[in-house]
Amino acid sequence: MDTLLERFLRYVTFHTRSDATNPACPSSEGQLVFARALCDEMQQMGLSRVTLDEYGYLTACLPGNQPDAPAIGLIAHMDTADYEAAHVVPQIIENYQGGDICLGKGDEVLAIRDYRFLKNYLGQDLITTDGSTLLGADDKAGIAEILSAIDHLLAHPEIPRGDVWIGFTPDEEIGRGADRFPLDRFPAKWAYTVDGGELGELEYENFNAAGATVRFIGNNVHPGTAKGSMINSQTLAARFHAAMPAEQTPEATDGYQGFFHLAQMNGTVEETSLHYIIRDFDDEGFAARKAQLKERVASLQLEAPRARIELTLTDSYRNMRSQIEPHMHIVELAKAAMLAADVTPRIKPIRGGTDGARLSFMGLPCPNLFTGGHNFHGKHEFIPLQSMEKAVATLVALVRLTSAWRAE
């Protein structure tokens, strides 16, 4: 049986970066390759009803030994974010003694001045990148922790448990992870995504999220004869963005504050597009942000009537709090499981989203649990092995405690 560390180090070698430009599901072949490997592993573990469908959704069941216990689900995603993810070469810093950590040849540094929380992990074993890729702890750590917890439950049949359903999804990082989730073969009463950050995180609130594309269509003319006829779409786009509230950006907000984020821009004189993501926890604030964008587009169109300015708004996911609060026992069980594993629960809002947010609105309430990782989606990503071990202990305790829960 692989150790937790061996499992995780094997998983991060799979290249599973999702591709938002590809409408297929999954959006990258590497996710299917990884799913097939996980499918084989789960069959070898002896899990029942192991199923991998054409869309890359992998489900299985660990049958319970308490017939009246509620069935729960544990969910993680197989894809990694839109950042270099090929040829991941992890480093293990054993018994970290403080100070900066050189990544790879030392061109990149995990600097204590930038990440002061490193001091919380003195004496622990940190798994980092080599500075050229992300690590993939988001969310391969979640997958490794779930299957390691299942291994422990299989090795200890005396631990009481209900049915435990396992679900691994593709394309979470591009907002499609729940699109084809097979609820018909996942009969859990509720579930947990194991997709959070540092030790103790427990989340049942997330952003309301939308994407916005503002398209500026101008008129390109030879610059030598352009007076009175050229309409430079890039100039209009620059004016538009300069008028956006600078204090409402990701780099200027935290906690429950929402934002507009200019995620991508591309253009020529003739045509320019600005791609924003919009985030807000509050339903009214979320609606107000979308209305604000519409007003700004209309206003600039009046100022530049010879240009054409188009706005496309697409909702991505909603705040799952409204779907979790009627079932707060699932949050209380998670808190109790953390305490049983000697972990202090840190309840906080997710400044992002998870598959669980969408699944909660599909009838499967689904809070989010920590993996232990930090600095997701970039070359400074790392995860302490001891936090991963605590995640496994939390999941085992969660299954045990849930087996005794009954609806009143």
Task: Report, as residue numbers or ranges, the catalytic residues.
Answer: 79, 172
Interatomic CA distance for residues 278 and 259, integer angstroms: 6
Of 389, 320, 394, 359, nearest to 144 by C-alpha is 389
Phi, psi of 325 (to 5 degrees): -55, -35
List 110's β-bridge partners, or say none. Answer: 101
Of 365, 353, 368, nearest to 323 by C-alpha is 365
Interatomic CA distance for residues 329 and 333, integer angstroms: 6
Interatomic CA distance for residues 252 and 320, integer angstroms: 24
Cis link prior to 138 (omega < 30° from 0)? no
Residue identified by tokens 């600005």 is: 274
> Strand, coil or helix: what is 210?
strand
Interior CA angle at 377 toward 373 and 381, to 5°? 40
Contact (Cβ atoms closer than 8 angstroms) between residue 78 and residue 31: yes
As a whole number of Å, the end-to-end CA separation of the chain is: 40
The single-letter DSSP state of residue 70 is P
What are the structure tokens assigned to 390, written together? 């605590």
Contact (Cβ atoms closer than 8 angstroms) between residue 196 and residue 178: no
Interatomic CA distance for residues 367 and 240, integer angstroms: 38
Cis link prior to 365 (omega < 30° from 0)? no
Q: Which helix (H) or strand (E) holds 298?
A: helix 283-303
What are the structure tokens assigned to 264, written together? 């991508």
- Rg of the chain over Cα atoms, rounded to whole angstroms, equals 23
Interatomic CA distance for residues 88 and 383, integer angstroms: 14
Strand 208-217 to 164-169 pairing: unpaired
